[in-house]
């Protein structure tokens, strides 16, 4: 049997569970409920501009926070001994073994008006603070749930950086911040780009986090699409159009991010 035949099950799986749903989304987006071709589904996109802007803004903020937290963690983790690295990686991945929905419900009990944070602040005569149902609560939920997806690709790239390259830069008299800026950071950019992809894409499309931590008061793209398929405003054609526009914007965003990463890597090699 030729090796290429072993790829047939994967190709069939992709065709049924990836290509077919995308084709259905495209068909629904350009048709009416009775199957007639139309562009009216896209003509109403202007009324959802605020939802698009809010979704991408919160996703960008969450991604930036994940980078700010995840990069130092991944960097210092890569410099620890092998035993400590294994322990820390287990602790980082441990929350991921719990159901996503349960983790989000846990944050509801922490952030709600009578939650643990407000109870703690009440001991000092502060509060209660209004956290649940705000953008802050949604960002906290996104960062908590998606932070491991930033740390792990960063760690996997940084830990493979040849220490001899860093030592050579130090021997040539480069200060620690120069070594980081000119050597470590450029070589770790593939991990940064992978982390951004793995955090930004689920952040911009999530619907569980804003539904629970946003208390129904903050509507993002995921919630808007869900309402078109499962809510009272049942309109799968409009929901498909919104999903198609979202996919297009995300693909354009990731294309420019990847081009930026390639440019930075080329500069680092010069």
DSSP state of 182: I
Domain residue ranges of the chain, discontinuous segments joined by +: 49-269
Residue 118 has a pLDDT of 81
Backbone angles phi, psi at 31, to 5 degrees: -135, 165
- CA–CA separation, 220 vs 76, rounded Å? 35
Expressed in angstroms, the distance from the first to the final Cα of the chain is 46
Residue 159 · residue 191 · CB < 8 Å: no
Per DSSP, the residues of 137-159 read: HHHHHHHHHHHHHHHHHHHHHHT
Judge if the upstream peptide bond of residue 128 is cis by omega within 30 degrees of 0. Answer: yes
pTM given for the model: 0.84
Instruction: Say which CATH topology domain 49-269 has.
Output: MetI-like fold (1.10.3720)
Q: Where are the alpha helices (DSSP H) in 206-235?
A: 208-213, 221-230
Residue 270 has a pLDDT of 47
Helix (H, G, I), strand (E, B) or coil at 123: coil
- CA–CA separation, 31 vs 236, rounded Å? 10
| Closest CA relative to residue 57, chosen from 264, 233, 220 | 220
User: What percent of the chain is modeled with pLDDT above 70?
Assistant: 94
- CA–CA separation, 222 vs 247, rounded Å? 12
Helix (H, G, I), strand (E, B) or coil at 31: strand
Q: What is the pLDDT of residues 7-17, one digit of tens each?
A: 788 888 888 88
Helix (H, G, I), strand (E, B) or coil at 37: strand
Q: What is the pLDDT of residues 176-229, one digit of tens each?
A: 888 888 888 888 888 888 899 889 988 998 888 998 888 778 888 888 888 888
Residue 260 has a pLDDT of 65
Q: What is the pLDDT of residues 18-31, one digit of tens each?
A: 888 889 899 999 99
- CA–CA separation, 202 vs 199, rounded Å? 6
Instruction: With a cut of 70, list the residues of the chain below it in pLDDT.
Output: 1-2, 260-270
């Amino acid at each position: 049997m030729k090796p290429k035949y072993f790829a047939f099950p994967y190709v069939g799986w992709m065709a049924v569970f990836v290509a077919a749903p995308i084709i259905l989304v495209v068909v629904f987006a350009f048709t009416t409920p009775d199957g007639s071709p139309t562009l009216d589904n896209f003509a109403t996109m202007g009324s959802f501009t605020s939802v698009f802007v809010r979704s991408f803004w919160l996703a960008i903020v969450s991604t930036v926070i994940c980078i700010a937290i995840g990069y130092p963690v991944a960097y210092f983790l890569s410099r620890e001994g092998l035993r400590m690295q294994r322990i820390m990686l287990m602790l980082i991945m441990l929350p991921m073994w719990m159901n996503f929905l349960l983790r989000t419900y846990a944050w509801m009990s922490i952030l709600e008006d009578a939650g643990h944070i407000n109870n703690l602040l009440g001991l000092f005569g502060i509060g209660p603070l209004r956290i649940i149902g705000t953008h802050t609560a949604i960002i906290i939920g996104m960062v908590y749930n998606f932070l491991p997806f930033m740390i792990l690709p960063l760690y996997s790239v940084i830990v493979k950086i040849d220490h001899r390259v860093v030592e050579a830069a130090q021997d040539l008299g480069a200060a620690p911040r120069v070594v980081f800026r000119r050597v470590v950071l450029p070589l770790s950019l593939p991990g940064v780009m992978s982390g951004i992809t793995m955090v930004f894409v689920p952040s911009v499309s999530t619907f569980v986090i804003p539904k629970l931590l946003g208390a129904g008061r903050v509507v993002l793209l995921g919630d808007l699409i869900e309402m078109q398929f499962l809510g009272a405003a049942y309109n799968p054609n409009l929901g498909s159009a919104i999903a198609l526009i979202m996919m297009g914007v995300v693909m354009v965003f990731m294309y420019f991010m990847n081009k930026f990463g390639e440019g930075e890597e080329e500069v680092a090699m010069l």
